[in-house]
Amino acid sequence: MENLRHIPVDVLEQTLTEWGEPKFRIKQIKDWIWVKNIGSIEEMSNISKELRAKLHELFYIPKVSIDHSQYSEDGTVKSRFRLHDDRFVEGVLIPTDKRMTACVSSQVGCSLSCKFCATGYMKRMRNLDWDEIVDEVTLIDSLAQQTYNKKLTNIVFMGMGEPLLNYKNMMQAIERITSPEGLGMSPRRITVSTAGVSKMIRQLGDDGVKFKLALSLHAANDAKRNEIMPINESNDLKTLIEALNYFYQKTKSEITLEYILFSEFNDSLEDAAELVKVYRQIPADLVNIIEYNPIEMADFKKPNEAVTDRFMDYLSKNRVNARLRRSRGKDIDAACGQLANVEQTNL
């Protein structure tokens, strides 16, 4: 059996024509799948039982569901999503006064093994299909409306996995999310975050994408970056800087640098100076300085406020557009780097 949502419209239309069905059936089926978000063919109540039976013999609809949700004191909502094969990923709704942001996952686990990230200590089991990513977004949008009576305004691919290592499904999901038949969201309200896959950053440029790009930098020299992000050994800073400039040349889309501060590792004024040097080589709009969120598997610590303020002050004096990003959802392990999808543990 095939996933009904993966069948091209022209193929489905040909099948229905061969069965003697009128053309308007295509619109009915699409509405059931994408507007009403059904989880089974049996739910298509305005379609005859005979046609439903025929469709059921060939196709199925593998829906994603919310297995459990947790609510933070700051309003953040973390959800564990159950996939059709009983694997799990996590996603987060981050509410502010002006925005409703969905942080979504692109892979079950991750292969990059970043030392500060809970997901990095998991084995990558598989990529999410594009329709599973769309389901994540749709479910978080429903949570936003139910909890805050507001629709999603932004989406960030900053959850579990490396989006650029699931390139085709990520791109197809964004195409659906931004289409009038999906959420109709502007691509400018979508940010894809990467640990630094130079080849695929260049591919984004060649594909002329309209969404924003964020680079998880976290160290501004190769030695330190190699230590905490093994991907840097094959995608060093020189290669990444060249790829980001190529991306911007092709797309003119915004680039953000993400930099987590780790106590006594990358928080000195020397580290700040190296960050300034990297910043000046990249057409970045912003540097997000991020509070470190502890995980059991790593020994990193968050620097004290005096060190953080000194770091931020140095960036400001050197005309770096930097913002200190306060973590949300720490009390439910929903903050940056904490998504772990522990399948054996009840949330």
DSSP lists the bridge partners of residue 200 as none
- Are β-strands 212-216 and 190-194 bridged in parallel, bridged antiparallel, or unpaired? parallel
Q: Is residue 336 among the annotated active site residues?
A: yes
Among 110, 114, 117, 336, the active-site one is 336
Q: CA 278, CA 160: separation in Å to the nearest integer? A: 26
What's the DSSP call for residue 65? E
**Could you tell me which of 113, 102, 108 has the C-alpha nearest to residue 129?**
108
Q: Would you call 180 helix, strand, or coil by DSSP?
A: coil
How far does the chain reach from its first CA to its final CA, in angstroms? 33
Q: Is residue 90 among the annotated active site residues?
A: yes
Token pair of 165, please? 């290592």
Cα dihedral 331, 332, 336, 342, rounded to 10, equals 140
Cα dihedral 334, 337, 339, 340, rounded to 10, equals -140
Please report how many Cα atoms fall inside a 13 Å half-sphere around the Cα of residue 250, on the Cβ side.
19
Q: Which residues contact 85 (CB under 8 A, 6 or more apart)?
A: none
Residue 153 CA: distances (Å) to CA of 95, 125, 190:
10, 30, 9
CA-based angle 324:147:142, to the nearest 5? 95
Among 90, 132, 136, 258, the active-site one is 90
Q: Looking at the annotation, which residues are catalytic? A: 90, 336
